[in-house]
Structure 1
Amino acid sequence: MTDIAALLERLETLEIRAAHQDQTIDDLNEALAGHWRHIEALERRLGKLQDELREVEAALEDKQPDAPPPHY
């Protein structure tokens, strides 16, 4: 094998590896973006639940305790 043929083979191998790495990076980027969308949706739901909990706690604090039963 001549030097040029060996260099061409090495170049082709490097180009193939680079193409596979680019595809892997794109796949990982897509997966990461999906995870971030999911995390943001969960954070919104958590915020709503926290707001609801505050409302329930406020309602319970505003409620006057019942008078004790007459037998006390």
Structure 2
Amino acid sequence: MSANEQLEARMEALEMRIAYQDQTIEDLNTTITKQWAEIDKLQREIAKLYAQMEEMDNGGGGEIVERPPHY
């Protein structure tokens, strides 16, 4: 195998490696984007739950909860 053929083989291997890495980076980016969307959704849901709990603590919500007699 001549030096030229060796160089071509190495270049081809590097090009294949770069193509694989590009695909891996794109897959990771897609995964991260989906995870951030899910995290954002969960944070909004938690904020709603906190607001509901605060409303219940402040006597809102319509239902009056009395303490049991043993308190």
TM-score grouping bracket, smaller chain normalisation: 0.7 to 0.9
The Cα of 1:45 is off from its aligned counterpart by: 0.2
Q: Secondary structure at the match of 1:59?
A: coil
Which 5+ residue runs of structure 2 have no aligned equivalent? none
The Cα of 1:3 is off from its aligned counterpart by: 0.3
TM-score (norm 2): 0.83
2:51 is the counterpart of 1:26: no
Runs of 4+ off more than 3 Å: none
**1:3-36 deviation digits (Å, cap 9, x = unpaired):** 0000000000000000000000000000000000
Tell me what 2:39 maps to.
Answer: 39
CA RMSD, 1 decimal? 2.0
Which 5+ residue runs of structure 1 have no aligned equivalent? none
| Structure number with higher helix proportion | 1
Q: Which has the larger radius of gyration?
A: 1
Give percent identity, aligned residues only.
38
Give the Cα separation in 2 of the matches to 1:37 and 1:4: 49
How many residues get paired?
64
The Cα of 1:40 is off from its aligned counterpart by: 0.1
